[in-house]
Amino acid sequence: MAEAVKLVPAVNTLIEDQTEHALYMSQQDLQILQICEEFDREKEVQLFHEGKIEVGQKVTLAPSDREARLAAINQKDYSKEARVKWIGEIKDKEGIFYGLELLNGEEGKHNGVVDGVQYFETTNGANTGVFVREMRISCVEGATRAKRMSAVVDDAEAVGMHGRVALKEDISSWKEPFCVVECAADARPGYSSMPSHEYQDDHETLEKKVAVLARLIRASKSACIYSGAGLSTSSGIGDYASKAAGGKSQINKNRKKIRSNIDATPNIGHRTFAQLAILGEIENWVQQNHDGLPQKAGFPQHRLNEIHGAWFDPSNPVVPMSGDLREDLVDWLEDIEQKSDLVIAVGTSLCGMSADEVFASCCEAELKGKTLLRPHKSLGGVIIGLQQTPYDDDSYLRIYSRIDVVVALLARQMRVVVPSMKVPIRPAYPKEGRVKRNVWKVPYDRKGNKTDDESEMVLWDLNDGAKVKVTAGPGKGFVGTITCFENLRWRIRLPTQRQGSDDFGKKKKNYNLGYWWVETCVKGLWPKLPVVNCGKSLKLQSSLLKPDTVQDAEGFGLLREA
């Protein structure tokens, strides 16, 4: 009888687990489910080949340099399947060559006979033969040819492969990452960057690393995302770090084709981090990119520091390499640096930008423990990316993988349901504060500053033709005109704001205001309006209630600018 009693909770738990799993599968984003399914399928096969290549094996021939460049442009796979027919030296050539017979009707350069010497025979004597160096063979019997990191990097140690977790926890079952792309050229020439080799953790090790990442996020009280260009490549936006490897780079795998960068949509990386923020697991996001994809994914603007400038904020234009960062954003960055107990660097080379300090500081705090300046415990830094960085040895956890795979596994590990992406994105504006089309009540004064004084609060008119003034940044005080709302943004015609430009303050160009700014500012979540109305477009909220005020044709009181 006692045994029967013990069985009941076990059965109930099993039913609950099955129900929870079914609910998760029914609600989870389809792409995340597909990536996890593919990951599980790959676990059952030999993914990498480390041994010698032998005659008779079926191989994949990687694209030539020219084909790799075309692949990057056309997003077409130029690889070819072949059978190894011969291995050895060719007359008057140095080194070992591999004689291959191309399959699937691909045309080669000969039939195995070169300069009167028969090295091998092709089927029916067809011109399907080629000679290649070993480096051109990318797969053997379906498994990717790869070396372990220690075969590529001198003095490679566990800390650089896995992070400082190697010194703190038992990771004896974790294996070295594989080098999936060899490219010794610097990833970011001119910076403190590393070679462009790309690495990938095996599936078992990656799963264990993702479990540690999930544990760190749950333990964190103030986690911060620190993102670089690599996060947005699968959305179709190019990066710098993958250029050296060209079409061979895994960073651009499954990259979307888009009409323009400004119209890009968020990928599952942006959307997973946004959902973690909504659930209270992520506090802040420091964004090196300018693309607005975190906000399109639902990450709150008031918790996002676009330290290097933004495409969707007229008061924060993109900062050139020799330009000055906005002082208020620098102050905020330093505040985030002090408060963050976990920083997750994703898709960034960490090659010496001043904003890298937000990551470096968190790593240093984990190493040193609590100090007077940082009295709270630090969990350290996590790096997610395919290429090495100068901070690998300092990170607590180092993950070598494509970002989309990591976030899909993370969502599954944490049981976080990421809502499916609906395209086109339809802006959702707050009902409160709306006066009429494109006009809102906002808790800001005529200079754009946040205020609690209701008598000073203005209306924010974003209709076509409305005059606005920039409130911050290099173009502070510049006056422009809203021309239209198009593709999730208001377009504003303003004098050029680019620092160092000969056209600064002169030639007019278009700047954009993202749709999410309406909710942010109606709720008073940002210190200043990015742009404030001026001239006849500037009106107080109190003018809606005072019939004796001098009014315009629509019944709004007119103001004199301060």
Q: Can you name the CATH fold of 434-544?
A: SH3 type barrels. (2.30.30)
Lowest mean pLDDT among 175-179, 363-367, 387-391, 555-559: 555-559
Where b means 16+ CB within 10 Å and e means fewer, 281-318 reads bbbbbbbbbbbbbbbbbbbbbebbbbbbbbbbbbbbbe
The tokens describing 90, both together, are: 């060719």
- The pLDDT of residue 482 is 98
Separation of first and last alpha carbons in the chain: 85
pLDDT, one tens digit per residue, over 62-74 is 888 787 777 667 7
User: What digits encode the pLDDT tens for the residues 145-156?
Assistant: 889 999 998 889
Enter the pTM of the model: 0.86
Whether the pLDDT of residue 486 is over 70: the answer is yes
pLDDT at site 376: 80
What are the tens digits of pLDDT across the range 220-251? 999 999 999 999 999 999 876 666 566 667 77
Per-residue three-class SS string for 332-380: HHHHHHHHCCEEEEECCCCCCCHHHHHHHHHHHHHHHCCCCCCCCCCCE
Domain with CATH 2.30.30.190 in the chain: 51-143
User: Which residue spans of the chain are classified as CATH 3.40.50.1220?
Assistant: 147-414
Percent of the chain with pLDDT over 70: 91
Question: What single DSSP character describes residue 151?
Answer: G
At residue 178, the 3 state secondary structure works out as strand
The CB density around residue 351, as the number of other CB atoms within 10 Å, is 21
The Cβ of residue 49 has, within 10 Å, a number of other Cβ atoms equal to 20
Report whether CATH 2.30.30.190 matches the domain 51-143: yes
* Average pLDDT of the chain, as a whole number: 90
In CATH terms, the fold of domain 147-414 is Rossmann fold (3.40.50)
What's the token pair of residue 407? 């976030």
44-57 tens-digit pLDDT: 888 889 889 999 99
Q: 359-364: which pairs have CB atoms within 8 A and are 24 or more residues apart?
A: 359/226, 359/391, 360/391, 360/394, 361/337, 362/224, 362/337, 363/391, 363/394, 363/395, 363/396, 364/394
Rounded CA-CA distance 191/87 in Å is 42
**In this predicted model, what pLDDT tens digit does every residue of 175-197 receive, in sequence order?**
999 998 888 888 777 677 788 89
pLDDT of 507 reads: 96
**Given this model, what pLDDT does residue 74 score?**
72
Q: Provide the 10 A C-beta neighbour count for residue 231.
A: 31
- pLDDT score of 405 more than 90: yes
Q: Tokens in use for 524?
A: 């008073």
**Tens of pLDDT, residues 331-346:** 999 999 999 999 999 9
* Identity of residue 23: L
Q: What is the pLDDT of residue 240?
A: 65
